[in-house]
Amino acid sequence: MTDEPEAVSPVDGVLAALADPTRRQLLDLLAALGEVTATTLAEHLPVSRQAVVKHLAVLDAAGLVGGHRAGREVRYAVRPEALNATARWMAALASDWDRRLATIKRIAEAAERDEAVQRTTDHG
């Protein structure tokens, strides 16, 4: 085992960023309001502008939002690519589990049928 830190996947960053309810609210606000400043976002939340900026930095690091300077302001907007990649990963995971559960169901139903046949041959 090495002391090297394990590489963090983009999905890990997105899931970690979305674990916080305030950051999820920020994404919802950005989706609704479009490109806005941290000050505008803070007006809609029970946290300070500084807290909003810190949350936006986490969202930016995860690839969920992007900011660009417009004069003296930094305007933020949703960047859907990372969220789309995470949604695709989750859909693939769900599909894999659906296949596994379908296999378990088929095995259980086959065992149940075999047991029923065995009972009829034992009594017949």
Domains and CATH numbers, the chain: 10-81 (1.10.10.10)
pLDDT in tens, 86-109: 888 889 989 999 999 999 999 999
Dist. CA 65–CA 63, nearest whole Å: 6
pLDDT in tens, 16-65: 999 999 999 999 999 999 999 999 999 999 999 999 999 999 999 999 99
- How buried is residue 34: exposed, middle or buried, by Cβ count under 10 Å (0-12/13-18/19+)? exposed
Residue 72 CB neighbours (<10 A): 6
pTM for the model? 0.72
CA distances from 124 to 115, 118, 120 (A): 14, 10, 6
Q: Which residue has the tokens 């690519």?
A: 81
